[in-house]
Amino acid sequence: MPTRPDLEPFLARLAVTPAPPNSVNPWSSETAYGQIRLENLRHYFGQLLERNTTTLLLGEAPGYQGCRRTGVGFTSEPQLISGIAEVGMFGADRGYRLSGEFETMRREPSATIVWGELARHDFVPLIWSAFPFHPHKPGLPNSNRPPKRGEINFGRPIFLDLAEAFQIERVFAVGNVAHASLAVAGIDAPKIRHPAQGGKNDFVAGLDWVVTHPSDLGRMPWRS
């Protein structure tokens, strides 16, 4: 039986990694809010390990209505607390908590689409981002902006370390930023459309293809 990966070193490093300017580390150990989100991420990783997850969905960066608040990619607060019954993920009964940093819960449209489709396929990949922290416009923390080239370079060894810790076998990109970062790492992975800004139908079609063509996904270097 394979040894269960130890993700604690990764979580510990993540919590103390400073965020570049105009970005936020959602899991920062410097705040009680970040510590709660780190615990949410720990629960998420634990659920994936129980499922023996071997596929990585790599996105662009955390959004201010989703991962910035919950600590889990493409996941908004109502999903985190109520859970997604179809796939047995999340839920307050499994230890997930709101950080308490924000007065009201928010729904992220992309998160609703992503988990709706993942549940339809009973497919639960590891979700991470090319740039792991939330990039925002200067002075506007409740906003999103594309990560800069330096931030993408900053994030590449982080997602590669996480993927290796999980012993991920296959990967696909959601959006151009993730696809390009994988290419720089020498990983030839397929790209599907991000669901935001009118991309829902293309995302749905792309995920349908991913689920039915697992052998055509990108192979991680330690699986070549």
Into how many domains does the chain fold?
1
Q: Within a domain: residue 221?
A: no
Is 205 a member of any domain? yes
| CATH (domain of 190) | 3.40.470
Query: Which class for 99: exposed (0-12), middle (13-18), buried (19 or more C-beta within 10 A)?
Result: buried
Residue keyed to tokens 């959601």:
174
d(CA 213, CA 206): 10
Tell me whether strands 23-24 and 134-135 are parallel, antiparallel or unpaired: antiparallel
**pLDDT-based confidence at 1, cuts 50/70/90?**
very low
55 burial level (CB within 10 Å; 0-12, 13-18, 19+): buried
Global confidence as pTM: 0.96
Residue 222 falls within a domain, yes or no? no
Residue 14 domain boundaries? 8-213
Which position has the token pair 């330096």?
Answer: 150
Instruction: Give a yes or no: residue 3 inside a domain.
Output: no
Residue 224, domain member (yes or no): no
Q: Identify whether 103 is part of a domain.
A: yes
Q: Which amino acid is at 37?
A: R
Is 31 part of a structural domain of the chain? yes
What does the pLDDT look like over 85-133, one tens digit per residue? Answer: 999 999 999 999 999 999 999 999 999 999 999 999 999 999 999 999 9
Q: What is the pLDDT of residues 127-175, one digit of tens each?
A: 999 999 999 999 999 999 999 999 999 999 999 999 999 999 999 999 9
